[in-house]
Amino acid sequence: MSELVILGASNAIPTLESETTHLAVCAGEQVVLVDCGTNPLVRLERAGLNVQNVSDLILTHFHPDHVSGLPLFLMDLWLVGRKTPLVIHGLAYTLDRAEQMMALFGWQDWPDFFPLSFRRVPEEELFPLLETPALRIFSSPVQHILPNIGLRFEFVREGKSAAYSSDTSPCPAVIRLAQQVDVLLHEASGLFRGHTSAAQAGQVAAEASARALYLVHHPSGRFLHNDPAQEARQTFAGPVILAQDGMRIPF
Ligand SMILES: [Zn+2]
């Protein structure tokens, strides 16, 4: 079975209810993680996903709420005795800094560290980032404060698809990335530079002819003062769901 598990749905400020936005993309046994603003170990366990099945980690961009959990996550994988390889994907801008961050922890001297590789993704639209018999992932640069990628997931066996905007202002590249997807996960941080409001996210979903819209990277808990889903329904006629931590979207 393929599914998307929302490990966290909040913007950069986590609350009791919600962690910063990160995802698990599951196709059969394989698990691909998207972003690592916090250590995903506990959330994976809570979702019943085996961390040993995580084959790849995609870092969309180098903001703390998307990468700062990485050193502890890698250390924990090492401490639980991982032996299988892990591939980390991202733009050169992102991975150069991720490697510098790991270097500060001296990870290259950690004995018997599992095989870890950093695979740089070009700043190309619809770049085929990963392909297995069950799952295809494409990336496109989006419009944020620093270099960033959005993603499209194609679940081959089910003939279903999803897209994730990552942090971006409303952006034609996301509309192309999300063409006719079954599920668009779009950020709804609000009207800030390099971000999107819920109403704008609805408009992107409509222009992409997405079938359903899940709002992620939204204010949560005590910071949530209105209903972003209601706002997005003004511009998108399909189903709108305010994503919550632990939600599972089957394909
Ligand atoms: Zn960001």
* pLDDT surpassing 90 at residue 225: no
The C-alpha atoms of residue 237 and residue 220 are separated, in whole angstroms, by 24
* 74-101: average pLDDT: 97
The C-alpha atoms of residue 56 and residue 99 are separated, in whole angstroms, by 16
Residue 203 CA, ligand 1 centroid: distance in Å: 21
Give the whole-number percent of the chain exceeding pLDDT 90: 94
CATH code assigned at 188 = 3.60.15.10
pLDDT digit string, tens, across residues 201-217? 999 999 999 999 999 99
Residue 198 CA, ligand 1 centroid: distance in Å: 16
Residue 63, both tokens? 């903001």
Residue 99 CA, ligand 1 centroid: distance in Å: 18
Residue 159 CA, ligand 1 centroid: distance in Å: 31
At residue 239, the pLDDT reads 98
Average pLDDT, the chain: 96
Residue 68, both tokens? 């700062």
Residue 157 CA, ligand 1 centroid: distance in Å: 32
The C-alpha atoms of residue 234 and residue 58 are separated, in whole angstroms, by 32
* pLDDT surpassing 90 at residue 80: yes
At residue 60, the pLDDT reads 98
**Domain hosting residue 222, numbered range:** 2-250
Residue 61 CA, ligand 1 centroid: distance in Å: 7
Domain count, the chain: 1
241 pLDDT tier (thresholds 50, 70, 90): very high
221 pLDDT tier (thresholds 50, 70, 90): confident
Residue 148 CA, ligand 1 centroid: distance in Å: 8
Q: Please give the model's pTM, rounded to 2 decimal places.
A: 0.96
* pLDDT surpassing 90 at residue 235: yes
β-pairing, 86-91 vs 135-141, is unpaired
pLDDT digit string, tens, across residues 128-181? 999 999 999 999 999 999 999 999 999 999 999 999 999 999 999 999 999 999
